[in-house]
Amino acid sequence: MPIDTTEFVVESFTNHLGQVINPGDRVFYVGRSGQSIVTNEAIFEGSYYRNEWSYRDKEMKRNHSGVRVGNIPAKRWVYDTDANGRYVSGSGRHIEIVRKAILPLKRVYKLAV
């Protein structure tokens, strides 16, 4: 029995509204984080596929398992450390970062240019 794997493919995606979204397009996405709904603007990067073994059909099945978006602006809280690697009290600050998100529910929508 083969091992289940996941692969990332840079390709176009058609959402449930019929919009064709190409890699590099600006999109609006809806995701979730814990109990909260998250919305943001991002850049579409491609799709994830999961290769799973089907016990009923005795073969590998390739399922579309999600999409990935990137270039999401975010902030991270960081602390300075001393020579021993301990956090320095009162040194916390936000730094700007850029992150990616994997969306298993595939709720991405193309923005008008």
pLDDT attached to residue 70: 92
pTM over 0.85: no
Q: Yes or no: say if 106 and 13 are a contact pair by the CB < 8 Å rule.
A: yes
pLDDT attached to residue 29: 93
pLDDT attached to residue 2: 67
Kindly list the domain boundaries of the chain, sorted by start residue. 5-72+99-110
Q: What is the pLDDT along the chain (113 residues), one digit of tens a residue?
A: 567 788 899 999 999 999 999 999 999 999 888 899 989 999 999 999 988 888 888 888 888 889 999 988 888 888 888 888 888 887 888 889 898 988 998 999 999 86
Please identify which residue in the block is written with the tokens 């969306």.
103
pLDDT attached to residue 1: 57
Burial of 28 from C-beta contacts in 10 A (0-12 / 13-18 / 19+): middle
Q: Yes or no: say if 97 and 90 are a contact pair by the CB < 8 Å rule.
A: no
Measured between alpha carbons, how far is 102 from 48 in angstroms, rounded to an integer?
9
pLDDT attached to residue 44: 95
